[in-house]
Structure 1
Amino acid sequence: MIIIVNNHGQFTHLIHRSLRDIGVENKLVPNTIPIGELLDLNPSGVILSGGPDIEKTGNCKEIIRDLDVPLLGICLGHQVIAEALGGEVVSGNSGGYAEVDVEILKKDGIFSGLGDKTVLWASHSDEVSKLPAGFEVTASSDVCDIEGMAHTKKPIYGVQGHPEVAHSPDGIQILKNFVELCRDY
């Protein structure tokens, strides 16, 4: 069971549908879900969705700090992971959604099996500017230095772009890789 924490992003339901389409049981929950209720769902992994406002991410920071399951942050979810664990998020120079050519720097984790580059549909209104301690950059672009990040020891991953949308051609593989990481954990 993968839990998708809804941060009110316009693509959140596509994460649910994409996982369902690849045969993965999942449940969409509000970002205000108490940690105890989330634990009662016995998740094998958690995805923090994108959304419009880092100030309206409910219990996401508590989930990030207190849950011991694989975690994937998408767009705002990626930024909340960084901020919750001591990184920094700033306003980006490229607002609005666009295809971004992304260089894959670490070909494991969520980027396992991908080539040197991919395209992700992303907004850069806000972006991670400084990694939290224990993290490394896994993907980069001309638009943003930290398109992807991963903890070096824990199964925590973040990606600025949206793997759940059709404009991200390798997106389903990224989600499949996360599901596989959850199964192996």
Structure 2
Amino acid sequence: MRKKILIINNETHFIDDLITCLDQHNIEIRHFQAVQPRDVEGFDCIVLSGGGTAGEVADNAQLYKNEIKIVLESKVPIFGICEGFQVIGKAFNSDFQVLRSYRKGINKVHILVDDPIFSGLENLELRVFEYHHIAIKKLGKELISLAESVDGIEVMKHEHKLIYASQFHPEELKVGNNGYILLKNFLSML
């Protein structure tokens, strides 16, 4: 069934891939600095995209204030990707760290918790496409770690609200990336 999806674009380099990944749904895109909390009403879910050039959430929370407010106050289900993952982490006071080197390419992620977001996977490992240099080392209250890599937390969810997020890019349909399963499973929960 077609969903009405709001993509909040955090200036991701992969917006075309995200649109392609969700093209069987009704999509609306808003820039993260222009979106207002009232703008999310009437959508089946919100996807917080990866980032690009605006600046990291950990150091520039003020840039993302409206998006953080949406995460904290909205009742609309949310899926965060990369920068969106970090926006959710910041909203709930998670601890960040800068990695020694930039992560780009396919990486292994170990699943910690059996959760519906991993439905259809045959083992406890994902191969995913990474493109980041900031990681969440410790989650704030209300967030649960579902999967990790050597860099830190890779998949999380909120303990009471339908909010999931991945540090990696599930929308990147590159050979070897099976992270797209999470986005598909999230949409099936709506």
TM-score normalised according to structure 2 size: 0.86
Q: Which moved more, 1:3-12 or 1:163-172?
A: 163-172
Instruction: Map 1:173-184 to 2 at 5 A.
Output: 173-182=181-190
Paired residue type of 1:152: E
Q: Which moved more, 1:126-135 or 1:107-116?
A: 107-116
Is it true that 1:34 corresponds to 2:36 in the alignment?
yes
1:99 to 90, 93, 106: 106
State the shift of 1:46 in Å.
0.7
Any idea what the Cα deviations from partners look like across 1:27-77, whole Å, max 9, x if unmatched?
2211121111232xx111111001032234362111111111211110011
Structure 2 unaligned residues grouped into runs of 5+? none
Instruction: Map 1:136-175 to 2 at 5 A.
Output: 136-142=144-150, 144-167=151-174, 169-175=177-183
Any idea what the Cα deviations from partners look like across 1:101-148, whole Å, max 9, x if unmatched?
111122324222223111111124111121011221111112x22011
More helix by share: 1
What is the match of residue 18 of structure 1?
21
Is it true that 1:64 corresponds to 2:66 in the alignment?
no
More strand by share: 2
Cα 1:58–1:9 change in 2 (3 A) is farther
Cα 1:45–1:30 change in 2 (3 A) is same
Q: Provide the identity percentage.
A: 30
Q: How many residue pairs end up in the alignment?
A: 177
State the shift of 1:11 in Å.
0.8
TM-score normalised according to structure 1 size: 0.88
Output the CA distance in 2 between the equivalents of 1:136 and 1:94: 26
1:8 to 6, 11, 18: 11
Structure 1 unaligned residues grouped into runs of 5+? none
8 A Cα contact 1:107 1:113, kept in partner: no
